Amino acid sequence: MAWKAEGDSHYGENQADLREELAGYSRANGYVVHHSADAVCGCGGKRFRLALDDGAGVAVRTCSECGMTHAIGDSAEYMDDAAL
């Protein structure tokens, strides 16, 4: 994985970086990811910002092209308790 740090944020270089980060996040929270696919936004964008809330168990990706947010997995069910 080739993560780059900038301030409080970390940046991956490709979809594989995102998959690896989400797999580690899911293991840490006890809800292991068994399947993943490369994310593609409705606008066709393939670059995303990832926001996590470990306490609420929420992961959200935001398209770098259009700004649309997408809750990952069952995260939408817990968004009210999240501080991303």
The pLDDT tens digits for 73-82 are 889 888 888 8
Strands (E) in the chain, as ranges, are 4-6, 9-11, 48-53, 58-63, 69-71
- The band of 25, judged by pLDDT with boundaries at 50, 70 and 90, is confident
pTM (2 decimals)? Answer: 0.65
Res 2: pLDDT: 67
Contact 49, 68 (CB under 8 A): no
Query: How do the domains of the chain map onto residue ranges?
Result: 4-81
